[in-house]
Structure 1
C-alpha cells in the first residue's frame, strides 16, 4: 500500500503540474456580434416587456427633473406580475407614472451595471439591492429628483394605494423632511 501511494505521488508530480495549459482545452472566449452583446446587456427588459412603454431602460438611471420610482422585481415573482398587470391594465396609472416620475423597473434576477445620476457613478444591480435593503419583491422605492430616499415599500401595492403613493411622493417639499416625518405625512395623507 505504501509503495502504491509513493507511485501516485511520483506520477502526480510529473504530470499533475504542467507549466503550460493545453491549447486544445483552453478557449479564448466567444466572439459575440454587437447585436448579441446588446441583447445580453438588455435581457432584463424582456422581464417587463408588457410595461416597457412606461419604464425607462436601466443602463442609465436619471431623473430628468422628476422624482424616481424604482420597482425591484424578480423572475417568477407572482406579485411582481400582478404589479405589472396593474400598470399595464390601468391607463391612469400608466399616464401618471410617465408624466410625473422617472420610473425604472430593476429585475434583481439579472446582473447589470447601472449608471446612477444621483450618486454619479456606475453600480451593479446587487449593490442597488443592498443600498435599499431589498428583500421581498416587488419592492417600490420612491426617491426625490435628487435621489433622496423618501419611502421604501416591500410588497405589492393595490391600485388605489399605489395611485395615492404616486400622488404623494412626487411632492418636492418632501426633500426637506426627515424620514419619520415623511412616513407620518404619508400615513395622514392615506387617512384623509
Structure 2
C-alpha cells in the first residue's frame, strides 16, 4: 500500500510539473514547432502568405510533416523567411483570433471547418490579402511541399481566378521544374 501511495505521488508530481511548464502558445506534443511556426493565439497577415496547417495529436502524417520541416534547414528557413506559418492542433480546444477573417475567439475545430477540413494534416495557403490560394488534404511529401512553397512564392498562382485554376497552374509549375532536372 505504501508503494502504491508513493507511485501515485510521483505520478501526480510529474503531471503537475508538466502542466506548470506548458507554454500556452503551443500545445502538448508540438514543442518541436517552436521557432518555426508562429504562436497561434493571434493569426495575422504579416505581408507574407500564410502557411496554415491543421493537424492533430496521434496523426502519423502530421508528425511526418513536422519532422521533415524540423530536419531540413532549407525548408525551415524558407518557411520562416517567405511565409507566416501557423500550426493548429484540432484536438485541442484553443481559441484563436484570426485577424484576416475578423474573427475572435474561434475554436480550433470551427476554424478548421471554415476550410472544409476533410483529414489531417490539411495545409491551407492564404494570400497576403486573406484569400485562400489552395488547400492540400494530407501530407504531399517533402519534395512536393518544397515545390508548393516555391510556387506560392513565385506568384504564378495570381494568374488564376479560382482554386481549380491555381491547381492546374501548380501542376504546370511542378512539371516544368521536373523537366529542368
Unaligned runs of 5+ in 1: 1-35
Aligned mates of 1:37, 1:132 — CA distance in 2? 33
RMSD of equivalent CA atoms: 2.0
Query: Cα gap change, 1:131/1:38 in structure 2, threshold over 3 Å: closer, same or farther?
Result: farther
Residue 148 of structure 2 corresponds to: 165
How many aligned positions are there? Answer: 156
Residue 35 of structure 2 corresponds to: 53
Residue 189 of structure 1 corresponds to: 173
Query: Cα gap change, 1:135/1:184 in structure 2, threshold over 3 Å: closer, same or farther?
Result: same
Residue 144 (str. 1) matches residue 144 (str. 2): no
- In the TM superposition, structure 1's runs of 4+ consecutive aligned residues that sit over 3 Å from their partners are 36-43, 171-176
What's the CA shift for 1:175? 4.8
1:75-106 deviation digits (Å, cap 9, x = unpaired)? 11111111111000000000000000000010
Q: TM-score, normalised by structure 1?
A: 0.75
Residue 129 (str. 1) matches residue 112 (str. 2): yes
Q: TM-score, normalised by structure 2?
A: 0.79
What's the CA shift for 1:37? 9.2
Unaligned runs of 5+ in 2: 1-18, 177-181
Deviation larger for 125-134 or 85-94: 125-134
Aligned mates of 1:104, 1:174 — CA distance in 2? 21
What's the CA shift for 1:156? 1.2
Residue 102 (str. 1) matches residue 84 (str. 2): yes
Aligned mates of 1:62, 1:134 — CA distance in 2? 20
Aligned mates of 1:68, 1:119 — CA distance in 2? 13
Aligned mates of 2:50, 2:116 — CA distance in 1? 17
1:20-65 deviation digits (Å, cap 9, x = unpaired)? xxxxxxxxxxxxxxxx799484452x32211211000000001210
Q: Is the 8 A contact 1:137 1:155 kept in 2?
A: yes
Secondary structure class of the residue paired with 2:144: helix
Secondary structure class of the residue paired with 2:29: helix
Aligned mates of 2:23, 2:69 — CA distance in 1? 26
Q: Is the 8 A contact 2:75 2:146 kept in 1?
A: yes
